[in-house]
């Protein structure tokens, strides 16, 4: 098995309160967690040392009147940049969010994704590092993402559609696509977007962040680096993760929700074939294997899944897989983590007034 030792249960410090969400960060050389309390307090929490320190408070509105979609309730989600200088609190399956400078507690950017079936996706947001500064990628319309400077809130991807000569035609660069959850590659250079398009089909896509910010402001719509990952009818907002700078793992084997089997598809986004949609290149699938289910995580080498195995008792818990061969390497039974800290190699499951922790 990858890693060793038992799952440890760590009480949540009384001053921390109820934990609504966690985000991994590194303070200097020490990996710690940011914790979002149910009361809106954001704290640094060193689980190993047992120390916690409140650093900011969010005043984000809760959007309480939303109806759940496919079992997903609108809920607060915490994101953070790598060193924990900036955090974002957003309403997954809602419209609103904010970026906060944790050094001052000041809100640097108020977020509004402007709606448009927002109840079908987590709030599209991810932090990245570009040319020495922290930037935040975020949804500003159902079919538009933007990048802003995390410190100043300045928009870095200003663009507008020119009116077409034929008023019945769509403007150039128009994207018929509902943006979803965002994942930044480990090298910080590429964006993976778990979005969908009508009728509906889940269509995750990948493109280059540097090109977007430095060369082609329409890169996220139809730039030359954009690659479709795969297409699955009525199937999105499921597990996926980067396995490195090129390969991604997506949960579910099949092309339609009705025929989906639990498992993982491994796709190389640097090897492409001609796609049918918009004539955009499509990633090449290098392997598919049954077994992984639930949430996906990766340390850059292994694929970890946190699911019940759908009847496969040997995979009921946190499971480690070799994504090059599809081999199950081991299981931490009965442990279903919701968060992963790559720097600390920690997997964490929030369990009421405690967290359960296992180290790889």
Residue 100 backbone dihedrals phi, psi, to 5 degrees: -125, 135
- Statement: residue 198 has pLDDT above 80: yes
Look over the chain and give the mean of its residue pLDDT values, rounded to a whole number: 93
Q: Tokens in use for 301?
A: 């080498």
Bridge partners, residue 341, by sequence: 346
pLDDT for 279: 58
Helix (H) or strand (E) holding 222: helix 219-222
DSSP classification of residue 14: G
Tell me which DSSP letter residue 173 carries. Answer: T
Mean pLDDT of 238-254: 97
Beta strands in 58-105 (DSSP E): 75-80, 86-92, 96-101
pLDDT at 349 over 70: yes
- Asked if pLDDT for residue 41 goes beyond 90, the answer is yes
pLDDT, position 47: 92
Structure tokens at 286: 């290098």
Least confident of 103-107, 137-141, 249-253, 270-274: 270-274
199-211 pLDDT per residue, tens: 899 999 999 999 9
Instruction: Give 244-250 contacts, CB < 8 A, sequence gap 24+.
Output: 244/185, 244/186, 244/298, 244/300, 245/185, 245/186, 245/187, 245/189, 245/190, 246/270, 247/286, 247/323, 248/192, 248/204, 248/206, 248/283, 249/292, 249/296, 249/298, 249/303, 249/323, 250/204
pLDDT tens-digit series, residues 58-82 = 999 999 999 999 899 999 999 999 9
Any idea what the Cα angle at residue 37 is, between residues 184 and 332, rounded to 5°?
A: 60
Which is it for strands 232-233 and 227-228: parallel, antiparallel or unpaired?
Answer: unpaired
Contact indicator for 92, 119 with CB cutoff of 8 Å: no
β-bridge mates for residue 240, sequence order: 250
Q: Give 311's pLDDT tier (boundaries 50, 70, 90).
A: very low
SS3 231: coil
Kindly report whether the global pTM for this prediction surpasses the value 0.85. yes
Give me the mean pLDDT over the 238-261 stretch: 97
Please answer whether residues 249 and 229 qualify as being in contact, where contact means their C-beta atoms are separated by less than 8 angstroms. Answer: no
């Amino acid at each position: 098995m990858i890693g060793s030792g038992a799952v440890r249960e760590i009480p949540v410090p009384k001053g921390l309160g109820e934990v609504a969400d966690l985000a991994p960060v590194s303070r200097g050389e020490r990996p710690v967690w940011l914790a979002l309390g149910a009361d809106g307090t954001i704290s640094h929490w060193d689980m190993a040392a047992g120390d916690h320190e409140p650093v900011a408070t969010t005043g984000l509105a809760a959007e309480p009147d939303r109806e759940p979609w496919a079992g997903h309730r609108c809920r607060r989600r915490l994101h953070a940049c790598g060193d924990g200088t900036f955090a974002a609190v957003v309403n997954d399956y809602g419209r609103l969010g904010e970026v906060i400078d944790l050094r001052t507690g000041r809100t640097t950017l108020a977020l509004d994704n402007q709606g448009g079936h927002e109840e079908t996706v987590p709030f599209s947001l991810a932090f990245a590092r570009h040319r020495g500064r922290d930037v935040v990628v975020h949804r500003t319309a159902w079919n538009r993402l933007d990048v802003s400077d995390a410190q100043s809130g300045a928009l870095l991807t200003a663009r507008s559609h020119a009116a077409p000569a034929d008023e019945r035609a769509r403007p150039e660069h128009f994207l018929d696509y509902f943006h979803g959850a965002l994942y930044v590659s480990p090298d910080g250079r590429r964006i993976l977007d778990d979005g969908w398009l009508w009728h509906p089909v889940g269509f995750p896509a990948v493109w280059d962040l540097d090109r977007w910010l430095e060369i082609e402001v329409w890169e996220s719509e139809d730039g030359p680096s954009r690659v479709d990952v795969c297409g699955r009818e009525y199937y999105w907002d499921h597990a996926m993760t980067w396995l490195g700078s090129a390969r991604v793992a997506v949960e579910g084997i099949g092309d339609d929700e009705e025929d989906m089997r639990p498992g993982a598809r491994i796709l190389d986004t640097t090897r492409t074939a001609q796609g049918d949609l918009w004539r955009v290149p499509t990633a090449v699938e290098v392997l598919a294997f049954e077994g992984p289910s639930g949430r996906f995580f990766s340390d850059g080498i292994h694929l970890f899944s946190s699911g019940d195995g759908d009847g496969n008792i040997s995979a009921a818990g946190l499971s480690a897989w070799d994504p090059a061969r599809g081999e199950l390497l081991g299981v931490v039974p009965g442990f279903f983590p919701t968060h992963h800290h790559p720097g600390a190699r920690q997997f964490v499951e929030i369990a009421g007034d405690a967290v359960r922790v296992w180290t790889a």
